[in-house]
Structure 1
Amino acid sequence: MGHAEIDRRRLLVTGAAAALIVAVRPHLVLAQAGAGPFSLPALPYPESALEPHVDAQTMGLHHGRHHKAYVDNVNRLLESHGELQRLSALELLRRLPEVPDAIRTGLRNNLGGHVNHTMFWSIMGPGKGGAPVGETAAAIERDFGGFDAFKQRFNAAGLGQFGSGWAFVTVEPGTGKLAVAAAPNQDTPLMEGRPVLMGNDVWEHAYYLKYQNRRADYLNAWWNVVDWAAVDRRYAAIRRGEAII
């Protein structure tokens, strides 16, 4: 066997090993490559998939510009803090009071933006909407008295959030009880140790190109893209005690 063939095989083996590392522990490769511990998740559907309720231009800018900026900013903030790079997003959010003053606010805003949007993309999909399913449907009936009452409560939280922010549904650890909460900017109940079942982004960049100042119209239209099966899988994972963002 010639030296060229040996080198080629070594390259193939090395490439295969690297691919396995990426699949199993992607944050290790990102850290080694200098890109930082966090990466932008791909949209699970085309940018135009949620039309006409969420327009393609908004989706492209929202994901490719806004969410990407949050990820890039988090990685930049952590560049000189190798010990923090080893923590998960949840661990960082819960330990924000321990983070150095110089990066705490930036990390709160940008890591909050990253986890909020990662959740957001995952609970929407084309051809979705309709009524809740599974244990989530039962919990909504139990804690809000029905889907219509739940939607009214959730929309009121989103409409009542002054300026930029989010409307969330949280899950009480242990009991599984649901509650609606609003939060400003990119804050998240995860910062207080409260698991998030679902949430809607009411920053203007989430809806202004299509709905202008009609936030109520956006909130009403958004129910047509909620993937209740995905929400129910989140609820099951939270009830099992899994750490999810």
Structure 2
Amino acid sequence: MFELRQLPYEKDSMGDFLSPVTFEYHYGKHHQTYVNNLNNLIKDSEFANSDLFDIITKSSGGLFNNAAQVYNHDFYWDCIAPQTNSMSDSLKAALEKEFGSTESFKEKFLSSATTLFGSGWCWLVLDPASNKLEIIQTSNAATPITQNKIPLLVVDVWEHAYYVDHKNARPAYLEKFYSHINWEFVSQAYEWALKEGMGSVKYYINTYVRGK
């Protein structure tokens, strides 16, 4: 059985970016519901003893949607911090190589997140086939894992992620998000990805999230 993970910070630590009320709904209700649904769906199924990575990569329909949303939210919580911190020199160099500058990356990432139609996620990923960084959008519960791409950074643009604090002003939420990125975690994810490829995703899930 899966459990709702503990947040790596206090619910009142994000200032005017995310309020405790948002955490109560987004984390305490939405994320918890995905975990509950996942447990109900795997019970007495072929996935009853599978880890989250295998469920995401081998399932479909409602089971996939709930498993992927558990992972997507877990990863999102790690991508933010009460105060932003510094990215590694290697990640900075990679962003500059692919996007021209870190400012150019910010502009393109926020533009992609702003223009994603409907509900979904905006990601910075590493394509292990080319070793290049990419910005991609996914709709609803979709995740880059199924595209054989390694997540490094994600922002949640479902309305429940920001409506309480920012109403329908997605760009305002995204600007606040960018000032709260946990670059230390993103840098670590990049190093894992370079060394372990897709294995780094399973390692993250099973060691840092699921504790298996």
Both proteins in one fold, TM over 0.5: yes
What does 1:25-44 align with in structure 2 at a 5 Å threshold?
A: 36=1, 38-44=2-8
Does the CA contact (< 8 Å) of 2:22 and 2:164 recur in 1?
A: yes
Confirm whether residue 87 of structure 1 aligns to residue 50 of structure 2: yes
Give the secondary structure class of the aligned counterpart of 1:196: strand
Aligned mates of 1:110, 1:150 — CA distance in 2: 30
Structure 1 residue runs of 4 or more that deviate by more than 6 Å after TM superposition: none
Give the secondary structure class of the aligned counterpart of 1:43: coil
* Aligned with 1:140 (options 83, 92, 95): 95
* 1:65 matched residue in structure 2: 29
Aligned mates of 1:114, 1:55 — CA distance in 2: 21
* 2:19 matched residue in structure 1: 55
Aligned mates of 1:170, 1:62 — CA distance in 2: 24
* Aligned with 1:159 (options 111, 114, 134): 114
Does the CA contact (< 8 Å) of 1:128 and 1:225 recur in 2?
A: yes
Give the secondary structure class of the aligned counterpart of 1:169: strand
* Aligned with 2:163 (options 182, 186, 208): 208
* Deviation of the 1:211 alpha carbon: 0.8
Gaps in structure 1 of 5+ consecutive residues: 1-35, 97-103
Q: TM-score, normalised by structure 1?
A: 0.78
* Deviation of the 1:175 alpha carbon: 4.4
* Deviation of the 1:60 alpha carbon: 2.1
Aligned mates of 2:40, 2:148 — CA distance in 1: 25
Q: TM-score, normalised by structure 2?
A: 0.89
Q: What amino acid is aligned across from residue 164 of structure 1 in structure 2? A: S
Question: Residues 90 and 172 from structure 1, CA distance in 2 versus in 1: closer, same or farther, beyond 3 angstroms?
Answer: same
Aligned mates of 2:105, 2:151 — CA distance in 1: 16
Gaps in structure 2 of 5+ consecutive residues: 206-212
Aligned mates of 1:164, 1:57 — CA distance in 2: 20
Confirm whether residue 123 of structure 1 aligns to residue 79 of structure 2: yes
1:141-177 Cα shifts (integer Å, max 9, x gaps): 1111111111111111111111110001111115431
Aligned mates of 1:85, 1:158 — CA distance in 2: 35
Give the secondary structure class of the aligned counterpart of 1:240: helix
Query: What count of residue pairs does the alignment treat as equivalent?
Result: 200
Aligned mates of 2:18, 2:178 — CA distance in 1: 11
Higher Rg of the two aligned structures: 1
* 1:30 matched residue in structure 2: none
Aligned mates of 1:85, 1:49 — CA distance in 2: 36
Q: What amino acid is aligned across from residue 18 of structure 2 in structure 1? A: V
**151-160 or 168-177, which deviates more:** 168-177
* Deviation of the 1:132 alpha carbon: 3.1
1:32-72 Cα shifts (integer Å, max 9, x gaps): xxxx2x21110010101111212221122111111110011
Question: Residues 134 and 85 from structure 1, CA distance in 2 versus in 1: closer, same or farther, beyond 3 angstroms?
Answer: farther
Q: What amino acid is aligned across from residue 233 of structure 1 in structure 2? A: Q
Q: What amino acid is aligned across from residue 141 of structure 2 in structure 1? A: Q
* 1:75 matched residue in structure 2: 39
1:189-231 Cα shifts (integer Å, max 9, x gaps): 1122211111000000000011111101111111111111111
Percent of pairs with identical residues: 30
CA RMSD of aligned residues (A): 1.4
Give the secondary structure class of the aligned counterpart of 1:198: strand
Confirm whether residue 225 of structure 1 aligns to residue 180 of structure 2: yes
Q: What amino acid is aligned across from residue 30 of structure 2 in structure 1? A: H
- If asked which structure has higher relative contact order (CA below 8 Å, sep 6+), I would say 2
